Amino acid sequence: MKSFIPYDSSCDFPIQNLPYGVFSTPGDANPRIGVAIGNQILDLKAVRHLFTGPLMKGQQEVFAEATLNAFMGLGRPYWQEARQTLQKILSQDDDTLQGNSELRSRAFVAQADAKMHLPAHIGDYTDFYSSIYHATNVGIMFRSKENALMPNWKHLPVGYHGRASSVVVSGTPIRRPKGQTQPVEGADPVFGPCRLMDFELEVAFFVGGAPTQLGTSVPASKAQDHIFGMVLMNDWSARDIQKWEYVPLGPFGAKNLGTTISPWVVTMEALSPFAIDNFPQDPKPFPYLQHEDKYNFDINLIVDLKPENGTPSTISRSNYRYMYWTAKQQLAHHTVTGCNINPGDLMASGTISGMASDSFGSMLELSWKGTKPIRLNDGSTRKFLQDNDEVILRGFCEGDSYRIGFGECKGKLLPTLDA
């Protein structure tokens, strides 16, 4: 399958991908829905009349919206038909767009000329803790090797409810927070800027399908109908604030200071060729968490750290395959108590770490709680993030002469405000 839009094999956005995002331009400040292809954006508002399939012909106006929520809410048959239409009109064998120079001039925008926005209105955001190697590392650091995983961890996908209002799109600066910490164990707390600022390498999925009703649940075997697509995510974390505040109710201010996501939502249809065996689970989960299909994915994940005025250093290479609990199990557990979900809700994986030390997904692990400094390309070292450091996450699946990429998820850590 080839597109008439040119790109090379290292491009994140070939015709096999076609992720959705929301963008604006200097000439039109109104946010609108687009699809990434090569280094271009196809403006779906400009071509919505081309969605003439039996399902989408009556739903064309969802592509005139300023967010993806309405389209997400239509459900999988609509998403699949829209993907088929997009691949057809972007194909080198179709003249609908390729042969219409006037429409082409209106419909395509260079990504370099666009401003990206959050792809959806995020009503609710939940963060899980589903990578077994990350959970084990943290358990060893703060408890012991023999007691690394809590008794519940292999029975259910542990998670907490995050703050949707502070989820921001890639490129948004993040301010170093202030808060209470306890620098000396057993001493009184102090107030001031966070000293142990960290990133967390995560992948999150957007909920789709019709809203569910309060009191109903979605079993894992049917959860695919409510998973629209995935983005990269950096769950910025203030470790010293977290350590003091998290007992007994879990993370709060240490996590609500900002959460960065990549702007392009890679659909589950685009990821399906890269599905791999689910992580072996022992003990066997309860029936509501069981599903037979493969829903783990071979997604390469890379973290670069760029000091101010410096060059990026790759400090971690991980993979989504290290997830113990699948996205379907996460959604099933989220709803099993009767919690209702809505299109545009965001659910995140938790930090994704592998077995090797260079595949750890946070500074906490990479520096092993600050005991092993990380050396950067310029010779400087880090235990935790310094002011004006920029963290850049990348992710992609490798196909046969093509890749399914997520683009970048980046943010710069700014100094604490004095006021």
Q: Which of 70, 93, 117 is the last residue of a domain?
A: 117
Domain count, the chain: 2
Q: Is the pLDDT of residue 100 over 90?
A: yes
Mark whether 146 and 109 lie in a shared domain: no
Which domain, by its residues, includes 77? 20-117
- pLDDT tens figures, 382-408: 999 999 999 999 999 999 999 999 999
Mark whether 186 and 90 lie in a shared domain: no
Mark whether 210 and 261 lie in a shared domain: yes
Q: Is the pLDDT of residue 419 over 80?
A: no
- pLDDT tens figures, 185-201: 999 999 999 999 999 99
Average pLDDT, the chain: 97
Q: Which residues are annotated as a binding site for Ca(2+)?
A: 127, 200, 202, 235
Mark whether 158 and 202 lie in a shared domain: yes
Give the residue-averaged pLDDT of 84-101: 97
Mark whether 29 and 158 lie in a shared domain: no
Is residue 177 in a domain? yes
- pLDDT tens figures, 257-269: 999 999 999 999 9
- pLDDT tens figures, 278-322: 999 999 999 999 999 999 999 999 999 999 999 999 999 999 999
Mark whether 192 and 211 lie in a shared domain: yes
Predicted pLDDT at 66: 98
Residues labelled catalytic: 134
Mark whether 27 and 162 lie in a shared domain: no
| Long-range contacts at 65-68 (CB < 8 A, ≥ 24 apart) | 65/33, 66/22, 66/30, 66/31, 66/32, 66/33, 67/22, 67/31, 67/33, 67/118, 67/119, 67/120, 67/121, 67/344, 68/20, 68/22, 68/33, 68/119, 68/120, 68/206, 68/228, 68/265, 68/344
Q: Which residues are annotated as a binding site for substrate?
A: 129, 143, 242, 246, 351
Task: Give the CATH number of the domain where residue 152 resides.
Answer: 3.90.850.10
- pLDDT tens figures, 2-14: 999 999 999 999 9
Q: Which of 117, 135, 169 is the last residue of a domain?
A: 117
Q: Is the pLDDT of residue 373 over 70?
A: yes
Is residue 38 in a domain? yes
Is residue 301 in a domain? yes
Give the residue-averaged pLDDT of 117-126: 98
Q: Which residues are annotated as a binding site?
A: 127, 129, 143, 200, 202, 235, 242, 246, 255, 259, 351
Is residue 166 in a domain? yes
- pLDDT tens figures, 319-335: 999 999 999 999 999 99
Tokens 């702007």 found at: 263
Mark whether 208 and 339 lie in a shared domain: yes
Mark whether 129 and 113 lie in a shared domain: no
Is residue 51 in a domain? yes
Q: Which residues are annotated as a binding site for Mg(2+)?
A: 235, 255, 259
This prediction has a pTM of: 0.98
Mark whether 167 and 41 lie in a shared domain: no
Mark whether 259 and 383 lie in a shared domain: yes
* Helix, coil or strand: residue 394: strand
Give the residue-averaged pLDDT of 46-74: 98
Task: Give the CATH number of the domain where residue 30 resides.
Answer: 2.30.30.230
Mark whether 41 and 69 lie in a shared domain: yes
